[in-house]
A and B are shown apart, each in its own frame.
Chain A
Amino acid sequence: MAMHWWTRYWTAARFMLIEQARNRLALLLLVLFVPAWYALIGGLVDNTPLAFRFRATGAFIQVNGHQLTLLSMGINAITLIVGFMLFSATRKNTRFDRRLIRCGYPQLMLILARLTALVAVAVAVSLYASVVLLAFWRPPHWPAIWLGFGCATVIYGGIGLLLGVLVRGELEGFFLIIMLSLVDSFLQNPYGNPVANKDFIKWFPTFGPTQVVVAGGFTDMMPWRYVALSLAWLVGTALLGLAIFTWKTRARRVQALPLRGTSPLASPPPAV
């Protein structure tokens, strides 16, 4: 029976989005944690001017410590939430996805659907966090803040997906995401942090997104290079995660052969 590939793609994408929308812990974290984090940490940090190394020009620019910290907290909160959402969905459903594939679902459609869910979640969460930010500060170039937040969320979506196929325990995965997100976002902020402007910081996942949000908050230029760098992170982590997913969900023998045929359905691997 013919069934259009679009029907199968959309069925899987719709159910993966429904699944994300039913992750109540993540939604609760999003609604409560994001404004609380802005208010709490933002309230603790004053308007001290800070020297931030803006890599697009290579020069140090002076930024407001309170405003920069709001951006760092936003990145920290949303990367944690999106990383958790993708980790949780991928880890829980690897066996279910394998069952679907064994029943004939094309692996590629499930992979595309998972990526669709990742991007949709990243867009929605980053939009919410950048809108809530307006209650605390009006940055001069708000769309760039949303874009930077979006870059951070797709990167951690990819990391969540990768951890989802690698880490067995929910607690271990969640802990890894919390630690990575905390260390990553705090290291990028020079407030009370002498290593923020060092070169090795560029190897951390939110280096690119931080450059993008700083551009939106304190400059009149858009460093597209760092948007591209963020997408490279997404591609790298997601490809690795999806390669492991493909390997884990592969069907060893899927074709049913005629009984009178010469090829067996299952046979031992050739001797080497």
Chain B
Amino acid sequence: MPEPVLRVEGIAKSYGRHAILRDVSFTVEPGVLVGIVGENGAGKSTLLRILAGDLQPNSGRVWRRGALGYCPQEVVLNEALTVAQHLEYFRAAYRLPDLGRAGELLALLGYERYRHTLVSALSGGTRQKLNLTLALLHAPEVLLLDEPYQGFDWETYLRFWELAAALRAQGRAVLVISHLLFDQQRFDQLYQLNDGRLAPLAAAVDERQVS
């Protein structure tokens, strides 16, 4: 078994007396697609923010290897800039030599024609595509996606899975969290976050065996 790119051990997080995460542990290997499902308020986004280094846990540890890509649930863009200007901005952030990968992602997600459109004029779905693109520009080893296909139409939703499969084939680890996971057979590992505790989701295994 290859060495994991992400190892999470005993993560706990609480706000005051309210426990959000309790003793969460798991590992993610390269080339694996992991899904974490949970109801609203189950602690999914908190877990992802801790994995991304955006939030400090009360206890527990996270190890990560390689570059990280993080697509937050809430679209974080600049309304006054165009799609192309966002790409250039993040190219400078990631120190990329060119924007070749960006062109591929725009084509794959089908929003090339909006390259020179202001973000303020984009639909919610297209904003979400750009939000996702910015997390993928630098071909990260570990990709954390928080409700990544929210607002996508069916066509884009399918394109997203093509993209996820391609990333997995390249040996990237992809972790998707969502309150609803359709297409559970697409995941290599599935977990459920319930009341702050993470447990393997048996149903998915059954579904995979059936498919």
**Chain A: residues with CB nearer than 8 A to chain B?**
1-3, 7-8, 11-12, 15, 18-19, 22-23, 92-93, 95-96, 98-100, 102-105, 251-254, 256-261, 264-269
Contact = CB atoms under 8 A, between A and B. Distances in A.
Interface residues of B, number: 43
Given A8-B92, A23-B80, A102 B64 contact: no
A261 B90 CA distance: 29
B48 to A, nearest CB: 12
By Cβ-Cβ distance, the 10 closest A-B pairs, closest first, are: A264-B61, A253-B53, A19-B80, A103-B93, A105-B93, A266-B62, A11-B92, A3-B95, A22-B80, A1-B95
13 contacts: A15-B78, A15-B85, A22-B118, A98-B76, A103-B134, A104-B95, A105-B92, A253-B53, A257-B63, A265-B64, A266-B61, A267-B57, A267-B61
A266 B57 contact: yes
Given A100-B89, A103-B90, A251-B53, A2 B62 contact: no
A1 B90 contact: no
Contact of A252 (B55, B77, B79, B95): B55
Contacts, number: 104
B52 A259 contact: no
B90 to A, nearest CB: 6
Given A1-B97, A259-B3, A254 B53 contact: yes
Given A18-B85, A96-B77, 9 more contacts: A18-B81, A96-B78, A100-B89, A252-B53, A265-B53, A266-B62, A267-B60, A268-B58, A268-B59
Interface of B: 3-5, 7, 50, 52-68, 70, 72, 76-81, 85, 88-90, 92-97, 118, 134, 138
A264 B62 contact: yes
Contact of A99 (B60, B68, B76, B95): B76
Given A11-B92, A100-B89, A18 B80 contact: yes
